[in-house]
Amino acid sequence: MWYKESMERGLSNKLASELKKHLGNNEDWLIKRILYYAKKQGYTAYTSTLEEAWRASIVGLSTPLLNTPSTSFWLQELHPHSDFPSDPYAQFGVMEAKKHRERGIDLIMFLGLFKYYRQTYEDLLFKVDMDMDDIKSCRTFLKRYFDRVELGFIDGWMKLGGDTINHEMTEANRQLTNEKSLYLTTLESLKQPLIVTDDNGAVKLMNQAAAELFAGHSAPGAVYYGGQKVNISPVIEKNIKLFLKTYKVSDSYTFVYNNKVFDVTSTRMKDVSGKFIGLAVILNDITDKRNTESYLKESEALRKAFMEGIDAAALVLDMETQEVVDFNTRVEDLFSGCSFTEEGPVFYENIGGEPHSVFDLAEKSVNNEERYIDLCREHFKPVRLFSVEVWFHNKRHKIMIIFDISREKMLEKRANHLQHLEVLGDIASSIPVMIGAATEELGDTIDELQKGLAGGVGSDVLIDNVKTAAGKASDISEVITALHSIVQYETESACIDLNQLLKNCITLTRDKWYPYADVQTSFGNGQIGVVCSPDEMGQVFLNLLVNAAYAVRKKYETDSGRGSIIISSRYTGTFFEAKISDSGIGIKKKDYKRVFDQGFSTKEVGSVTGNGLAIVYDIVVKRHKGTIEFKSAEGRGTEFTLRIPVD
């Protein structure tokens, strides 16, 4: 075996370890050194242009030495019957013989370059810090090592006949042709225009995309095979020549051509051999990117214009991180010196109720919903909320728009108050009539009593008359008491008996319905107290009863038939439910959708504001979170059903 063909002298364990260390640590230096010799002597004209190919040769030469144990660096002498195919040191030469034959490299050319590989490794010994005696020992060892590699190469080369060599070269040529076709097809398939120039800036090659860009037409291979002549843009040509005068490895700039925007990148060819010294110029179409950037800028400008132009506070919420990432100046106006954290402001459905974060409401996609915002120090404001989902930088955001409706609520309260006064005024206008009638009847009764006593009339008749007059006076007292129960402007919210409130409203409106209708009532038992606004709920019942009385009266004026109003209530467990139905003129089907609209009325123009049912809807649905619905038949009557939560 090869390791038995040794002499007693060789490298010590220490020196062998040191040599292995230098070989492993100086791989890049060895590559640069062999390239220096190859370029200087003209071998690079026949070798690879890429550095990694040279690295592979250095690794191939160093690996057998690096894999040899430091205890086995014996000096390998040469013998006439050496078995090179089984010699690890000669294996690299045997493999390289096959590769170089296939590439068409002749034996003399390879051996000539290989001498410089040997020189490169010897040069390393002088580069590193070694003792001269150690350098001498290592040089002797390396000479024998390279001799074995070289003999292995010659042995592998000479053992093959001419037919085998010809077959290898034919196969190698076929592979080279296929590789060339692969690279050319890849080049022509690129969507990006590509231009290759020499070191003077002259175009040596361009792909189909480049030819189509500058010539307007081309076909795959038209430039390479068909000889299509294409003149590139003077701007590109000028920039290529300017770049070649610099020492830059790469550079890029923006180029506009035929209404398209390109990012042009010029890169020096990575040819360590020096055969191809020039540039690879790639034009990347960034028109869509620029348009997108322009669109994003316009969108950002639009967003800012919207944020600052809207007469409302606007918050931009990052729904992933749950942070307020932007807000407009109206937010500062709304908070008036108060501040909020990155988690955003807090909202309440009712003051004192459960708090909700701005992110909770945004996730629910609230729109046109009213809440109370907690500004600071329990300072609340009524607001109306809208949320819009948007995407910024591929992240989901919500824009929360907050309208301060303090003034709106104040005006709404005034409007409700005025409408309430309108109803109460209509009702109260009958009280003087009632008082006058009762007073007149009481006076007549007293006169009759005096005459009767003087004339000896029976006391029973006189006493009945006095009782009747007293009853009418009692009715007046009952009306005044009922009126007091619903005129409680200072009470925002209280726990009241809605059945009793409904009874009081029936009493108050008696003068409106009594001449034209009979009233039937059915009040359910159960829970008595319901938290609500007495003033507002009284307004609801009064409006519905007055409307019912009006509908019955209008029908009475037509057919003179006495109508009916049926009033019922009950507790369902979660709601207080009241039904008020009449046998009046009903509502036209075409007006169903407008019943709760502001300003809509079927009464005579000028007689009312037309806000009654709109205010009823607002009080029941928005203020008390209840429901109200109706069913009607023209000429037969209408029934309203309202439900108020009892919790």
386 with 423, same domain: the answer is no
User: Strand 563-571's sheet: what is its strand order?
Assistant: 517-523, 563-571, 575-582, 637-645, 627-633
**pLDDT greater than 90 at residue 119:** yes
* Domain that residue 439 falls in: 411-645
Asked if residue 178 is part of any domain, the answer here is no
Q: What is the pTM of this model?
A: 0.43
Residue 133 and residue 231 in one domain: no
Residues whose CB falls within 8 Å of the CB of residue 477, separated by 6 or more in sequence, listed in order = none
Model confidence pLDDT, tens digit, residues 232-253 = 999 999 999 999 998 899 999 9
Query: Does one domain contain both 441 and 392?
Result: no
Q: What is the pLDDT of residue 79?
A: 78
Read off the pLDDT of residues 284-303 as tens digits, 9 standing for 90 and up. Answer: 999 988 888 887 788 778 87
**Are 478 and 589 in the same domain?**
yes
- Statement to judge: residues 379 and 435 lie in one domain: no
pLDDT in tens, 240-289: 999 999 889 999 999 999 999 999 999 998 877 777 778 999 999 999 88
Each residue's pLDDT tens digit, 560-579? 789 999 999 999 888 999 99
Q: Are residues 383 and 419 in the same domain?
A: no
Q: Which residue is listed with tokens 């109306």?
A: 384
Higher-pLDDT residue of 466, 132: 132
Supply the pLDDT for residue 631: 96
Q: Which of 108-112, 118-122, 246-250, 417-421 has the lowest mean pLDDT?
A: 417-421
| pLDDT band, residue 158 (cuts 50/70/90) | confident
Domain match, 525 and 462 both: yes
Within this chain, do residues 344 and 484 fall inside the same structural domain, yes or no? no
* Domain total in the chain: 4
Q: Tell me: pLDDT of 484 over 60.
A: no
Regarding whether 396 and 469 lie in a shared domain, the answer is: no
Predicted pLDDT of residue 21:
95
Go through 255-265 and write b for each residue having 16 or more CB atoms within 10 A of its CB, e for each that does not.
bebeeebbbbb
Q: Parallel, antiparallel, or unpaired: how do β-strands 260-268 and 379-392 relate?
A: unpaired
Tokens of 634: 């023209």
Asked if residue 180 is part of any domain, the answer here is no
189: which residues sit within 8 A by CB, 6+ positions away?
Answer: 220
CATH of the domain at 388: 3.30.450.20
Consecutive H or E run containing 313: strand 313-318
Question: Could you tell me if residue 185 is inside a domain?
Answer: no
Pairwise pLDDT comparison (20 vs 87), residue with the higher score: 20
- What is the domain-level CATH number for residue 59? 1.10.490.10
Give the model's pLDDT for residue 8.
47
- Which of the residue ranges 115-129, 346-360, 530-544 would you say has the lowest mean pLDDT? 346-360
**Domain of 464: which CATH number?**
3.30.565.10
Question: Please, which residues have CB within 8 angstroms of residue 589's CB and are 6 or more apart in sequence?
Answer: 634
Residue 367 shares a structural domain with residue 458? no
- Per-residue tokens: 365: 């996609």
432 and 387 in a single domain? The answer is no
Tell me how crowded residue 522 is: count the other CB atoms within 10 A of its CB.
Answer: 10
pLDDT in tens, 454-482: 665 555 555 566 555 555 555 555 555 55
Candidates 509, 573, 507; CA nearest to 547 is 509
Q: Within a domain: residue 267?
A: yes
pLDDT per position as a tens digit, 333-384:
787 666 666 567 888 887 777 888 889 888 888 888 888 888 765 678 888 9
The average pLDDT across 420-437 equals 58
Query: pLDDT, tens digit, for every residue of 181-228?
Result: 788 888 889 999 999 999 898 998 899 999 999 998 888 888 887 888
* 390, 464: one domain: no
Of the candidates 501, 508, 506, 534, which has an alpha carbon nearest to the alpha carbon of residue 429?
Answer: 508
